[in-house]
A and B are shown apart, each in its own frame.
Chain A
Amino acid sequence: MLQELVQTTLDKKIAEFHAHEINLFDFGRESVAAAHNERLKKAIDNAVVRNDRGRQLKLLELPDSNKVRELAGAIKQHTLDHLDYYLTQLAENVEKRGGHVHFASDGEHAKKIILDIVRRSGTRRIIKSKSMVSEEIELAHVMEAAGLDVVETDLGEFIVQIDHDKPSHIVTPIIHKDKASIARLFSEYFGTPYNDDPESLTRQAREYLRDKFRKADLGMTGGNFLVAETGDVITVENEGNARQSITTPRILISLVGIEKVIPRLTDLSVMLKLLARSATGQTMTIYSSIFGGTRKAGEKDGPEEFHLVLMDNGRTEILKNPEYREMLRCIRCGACLNACPIYRKIGGHSYGSVYPGPIGALITPMMRGLEKNKDLPNASTLCGACYDACPVKINIPRHLINLRRDIVRQHISHPVERFIYRAYAFMMSTPGRYKLASWMQKRSLRLIRTRDGFVRKLPFPGSGWTQVRDIPAPAAKSFREIWRTRK
């Protein structure tokens, strides 16, 4: 009875969430609004540009960072190309060490598996460390809706949770927030006087969360890597909250995407040399935890029960396509976000997905459908900064172009756009039509030019284009006409 009740509230909440999500997602409106938000731009510039610079500086420590990135890409590509083999090997090794392995086909399945574990064990106090894959399926919301006491323990994610907000960056989740808004939030949430000193705010969260750690009976983590040959899960972090999840609670659940596998423990030396450098410009994150299975006989902390939930949720769709498979190499460092001139202008929320920025513009349409997310592959200038930054050498600009190609081939682009391109192709296909078209264009544009020789406002469908651009009006004589008179 109780479980049914929980399930109904849960379903309602999930439905509400998805409805809200779809309404929210209007890339055009969101990005224009964000681009005019000066405070947001300043905040993003402060964090993102600094991390981008830090990355470039730190990579200089490697003798030839390009070669190391190629190797990291090759290791991940090799694993993806043989993923069924490595997943089987991983699962066997986790079980040898006393852990349970569950494969989840999608987000709903993963949530069901996790809620079942929680219910069966009778645990109530859950500490959850930051993980992108749990954001992907809105796990914390679902657990809250199921009446569980679940707390996000990464400082940024904790702030996101109590503010009912969403993270805007995959590494630094609250770069869109300033300290004043966090101070107001804490003052309201804890009922304490306003204090916007970052040190005091952090202390306040520490005290609150420390008590949660101490009493927690179930811990949750994601995983940055999974080692097939040993069955280890690897989490990297700076705060120590993921370590808390794997230390204090009696039960541990790690929810990880199936693409996170690497073959050998020694492969970590390549990955760890790149990950922190690319993400935050650090040599290493403060804590790299390599853990597997349950605590051993005689150990007095660590989990007595360990569950590894490996989730597909659209990843096999990407795997299927050899052209796009390398998208799954991504190690979620956020370097492409930091390097991207578009992300820097509009921030993460505009992308309407937990995976923003260039990599998000690839994997969101792949995992959630191209038609619903067709604005995303176009949200790029194709400048290539993301490819230069990527530690596993995903050719992001090429895939963005290929997705644009798919949009055209699948006839899901905007009808006006399709009409314009078709008309364009028709007019360009013979010299006579070209001549006529350029004459018409010249005449009409010169007609509406301003006195200083610019066209500032086009009628529909060109109005959107001139909203943010001016075009110089065409010259009185075209090149062809001048050429002819010269002869």
Chain B
Amino acid sequence: MQDENGVIEKVRKALGRTPGQKPSLPPVLDEPNVRLVLSDIGLPALFEKRALENKIGVTSLRVESLHEHLIGYLRSKGVRSVAIPRSRFLDRLEIRRALQDAGFIVKVWGEMTLDEVYDVDASVTDVWRVVAETGSLVVRASPDHGRSLSLVPPLHVAIVEPKNCVGDLIDLFELASSQEDTSAMVIISGPSKTADIEMNLVTGVHGPGVVQVFLLK
């Protein structure tokens, strides 16, 4: 820590506090007023509703029809190359094999460079959690899951299980606090957008212009 001009000391003096003096506890989160999702029942349906409001595409389907829908969707978007994270969940769903068999070029995080992510047409990823309250996807950085995967390709497809759903932002942050920290966690609530020019909404500025969720039943 570099504080050659003594900023902390200046702050302490400004507050009239003595070094090492512990504060009282911060205000208690007043859950009845802050919490917006009160029940754990029906979270996937609520997530779907809110995600759609955020202009995230959502397709609910059974796991048996996932390959068919995913391949059809990627083809309809003119996708030829796909980046995927290293993920046991995706392995179990045999995503890599299915996409390769369908003729897509599949690159797996860990076997590709960061620069290559700029050239793929889409990414297909798992998620850490989704938040029903806000219709958001939550991804966390790890050696298996690069930060760039859900950011750089123009199309991001996420495969979500019902058990990924948390209700409220309160639940999300309580969960994140209880787990070992990650170097970066991102809450994604729609396709990248701007309204800087005369309040005209344009999607796909620097992040993916299209975000699509396949929600397993």
Contacts and interface: CB of A to CB of B under 8 A. Distances in A.
Interface in B1-44: 1-3, 5-12, 14-15, 17, 19, 21-24, 26-27, 29-30, 32-34, 36
Nearest to A200: B202
Contacts of B7: 87, 103-105, 258, 310, 312, 316
B35 to A, nearest CB: 8
A95 B1 contact: yes
Most buried by A among B9, B36, B147, B170: B147
Interface of B: 1-3, 5-12, 14-15, 17, 19, 21-24, 26-27, 29-30, 32-34, 36, 50, 53-54, 109-110, 113-115, 118, 134-136, 141-143, 146-148, 151-152, 168-170, 172-174, 176-177, 181-200, 202, 204-208
Contacts of A63: 32-33, 36
Given A240-B192, A286-B189, A290-B186, 7 more contacts: A78-B27, A81-B23, A82-B17, A102-B3, A153-B206, A199-B202, A290-B185
Interface residues of A, number: 108
10 contacts: A67-B33, A68-B34, A84-B11, A153-B206, A206-B204, A229-B177, A269-B34, A298-B143, A300-B113, A302-B147
Contacts of B12: 84
A209 B198 contact: no
B15 A238 contact: no
A485 to B, nearest CB: 61
B183 A299 contact: yes
A270 B146 CA distance: 28
A247 B151 contact: yes
Given A75-B27, A291-B183, A105 B5 contact: yes
A71 B141 contact: no
Given A47-B199, A284-B136, A268 B143 contact: no
B39 to A, nearest CB: 15
Contact of A286 (B11, B21, B192): B192
A174 interface: yes
Contacts of A84: 8-9, 11-12, 15, 17, 19
A325 to B, nearest CB: 9
Interface string A328-372: 000000000000000000000000000000000000000000000
A312 B5 CA distance: 10
Nearest to B19: A84
A244 B168 contact: no
Interface string A18-57: 0000000000000000000000000100110010000000
A61 B36 contact: yes
A396 interface: no
A319 B14 CA distance: 6
A170 interface: no
Contacts of A199: 200, 202
Nearest to B171: A269
Contact of A201 (B109, B173, B197): B197
B26 A263 contact: yes
